A and B are shown apart, each in its own frame.
Chain A
Amino acid sequence: MNAHGTAIKYGDHIDTDVIIPARHLATQNHKELASHCMEDIDKSFVSRVKPGDIMVAGVNFGCGSSREHAPIAIKASGISCVIAKSFARIFYRNAINIGLAILESDKASENIAEGDEVDIDFDTGVITNVTKNETYQAVPFPDFIKDMIATGGLMASITGGAK
């Protein structure tokens, strides 16, 4: 499993209220959620994000509410992986449960700049910054999470993969 895309960079403590503001939570439509993703801190995100792009942020990404609409909005906007120094724990669970790839790496978070081309190998946890010709090692997913993703997320894993 790999990802490749252009980095879109944010800072520390990106909370779920800015990822998807509560005023849009009455919908569960993925496309509609994606159309408002990040709008309160970055109005241009929706127009510049391309399928496969990689979101890079600092510490405590996804802090705040438990709204699963947040990882859903990011995933539906085309982001293939979020790299951060750390994630808030509910966001971390939600991302895995809905199949949004996430990796923790201090180095990648610090060295990847907006617009850098990034390659990710999820099996090894190696993040390659193609633009800067650097690599960063993230901890790859543990086996139980790989299994969950392989069977199609949490719901598929408890129904035995039949979805």
Chain B
Amino acid sequence: MGMTMTQKILAAHAGLKSVTAGQLIKAKLDLVLGNDITAPVAINEFDKAGFDKVACGARITLVMDHFTPNRDIKAAENCKKCRSFAKRFDLEHFYDVGEMGIEHALIPEKGLIAPGEAAIGADSHTCTYGALGAFSTGVGSTDMAAAMATGETWFKVPSAIKVNLTGKKGKWVSGKDVILHLIGMIGVDGALYQSLEFSGEGLSDLTMSDRLTISNMAIEAGAKNGIFAVDDITHKYMEGRCDRSWKAFDADSDAEYARVINLDLSKIPCTVAWPHLPEKTHPATEGSDIEIDQVVIGSCTNGNIEDMAAAAEILKGRHIKKGLRGIIIPATPKIYMECIERGYTRIFVEAGCIVSTPTCGPCLGGHMGILCAGEKAVSTTNRNFVGRMGHVQSEIYLASPAVAAASAITGHISHPKEVMGE
């Protein structure tokens, strides 16, 4: 029986000719990731178990991105713990303030992951790298600790949902709309324990930025990973990024899928997820009665340069509604610099927004834009759970950068055409 993309990558990393859904395997890892919240827990476990060296082979990567620049003394202590660990084991890939970006934007940007590689990260959005045709999934801190010591981990081989993409996106529609629409169709547990595998002629209409956003939110459908077939867009993205040799894995033509979903990109509207679940999707045009207090554009989901460009196009020469707070967070230092060079930073500041240093910040209610009771935000982040950005009585509406920027100008949830015309 044929294998899916995910199954082929897992088989290769387990040293097996083939694997089938449900099989338990041990796989070698190319990348093991942690951040300033999850790595300290992993380091405690690593030390408690008495390990005195880290595994070679797997790139152990620590990114100080969640509560940084340190929001309080405990956050400072957590970063210090990671810093000492990195120094103790001479870790090459330790990213502190100044060098760090939001982990899932930084890692592909720096070529730390490549197609066909296998990664785990103690962060649920580690599934982002499926955009490159890699297998990557989120785990907890104890899994991370064990993987730092052994360079491998155990997996249950997932079955897959094939998402067959056709058509071309409409004006103002981006990867964010595609993934929100899909989650709205299948629900927040619609792909539980499974892979989402994206392929089809519609791939050519999805930029790498679109794909990174789509794979990033695979977890929001409960998926283990969300992976894209490798094509010319992937090859172009990888050029000059990494000098390791890598291999693309295609699904076998007779691969078995638990379900096939046909998605016509041309039918997907600008989509917004109402509180308090990412599956509560509505077309952006239905939000004109919802007045908002804050807009956040950034995060591991939508902090790439293309996201910044979408926001800048709409905010250029306009001003956000008086009384509304606009918070823009380019995801990495490189994207931050590019915003300056392309003139976006001036556009954002002149529009009345603030431009923050890279941080996860408000996405998980850490800092840099917490909501109080009764406040509403349109945010390009990934979760709108109760209390995610602050008070339990605040509300988060998940949207694309274009919808978020348009909403910042009008003060209510807006389709970009409301600001830009047809």
Chain A interface (Cβ < 8 Å from any Cβ of B): 13, 15, 17-18, 21-23, 25-28, 40-41, 59-60, 63-69, 71, 86, 88-90, 93-94, 97-98, 144, 153-156, 158-159, 162-163
Chain B neighbourhood of A86, CB < 8 A: 189, 192
Tell me if B385 and A66 are in contact (CB < 8 A). Answer: no
Chain B interface (Cβ < 8 Å from any Cβ of A): 24, 37-38, 40-41, 44-45, 48-51, 66-67, 72, 74-75, 78, 121-124, 126, 138-143, 145-146, 149-150, 188-189, 192-193, 219, 222, 224, 277, 364-366, 383, 385-388, 392
Most B CB atoms within 10 A — which of A25, A66, A88, A159? A66
Beyond A18-B386, A90-B138, A97-B140, 8 extra complex contacts between A and B, CB < 8 Å: A18-B385, A22-B37, A26-B75, A28-B40, A41-B392, A65-B383, A89-B224, A98-B142
When the two chains form the complex, which single residue of B24, B38, B277, B387 contacts A68, counting CB atoms closer than 8 Å? B38
A157 to B49, CA, bound (A): 10
Chain A neighbourhood of B24, CB < 8 A: 144
With A23-B365, A154-B146 as contacts: A40 and B386 at CB distance below 8 Å = yes
The 6 tightest CB contacts between A and B, nearest first, are A26-B74, A94-B140, A68-B140, A60-B189, A97-B142, A22-B364
When the two chains form the complex, which single residue of A17, A68, A93, A159 contacts B49, counting CB atoms closer than 8 Å? A159
Chain A neighbourhood of B365, CB < 8 A: 17, 21-23
A60 to B126, CA, bound (A): 19
Chain A neighbourhood of B388, CB < 8 A: 17, 22
Tell me if B366 and A155 are in contact (CB < 8 A). Answer: no
Most B CB atoms within 10 A — which of A18, A89, A97, A156? A89
Tell me if A93 and B383 are in contact (CB < 8 A). Answer: no
When the two chains form the complex, which single residue of A28, A65, A154 contacts B364, counting CB atoms closer than 8 Å? A65
With A64-B124, A65-B124, A158-B150 as contacts: A41 and B386 at CB distance below 8 Å = yes
Most B CB atoms within 10 A — which of A41, A158, A163? A158
When the two chains form the complex, which single residue of A21, A28, A89 contacts B41, counting CB atoms closer than 8 Å? A28
With A41-B386, A64-B385 as contacts: A90 and B193 at CB distance below 8 Å = no
Chain B neighbourhood of A27, CB < 8 A: 74
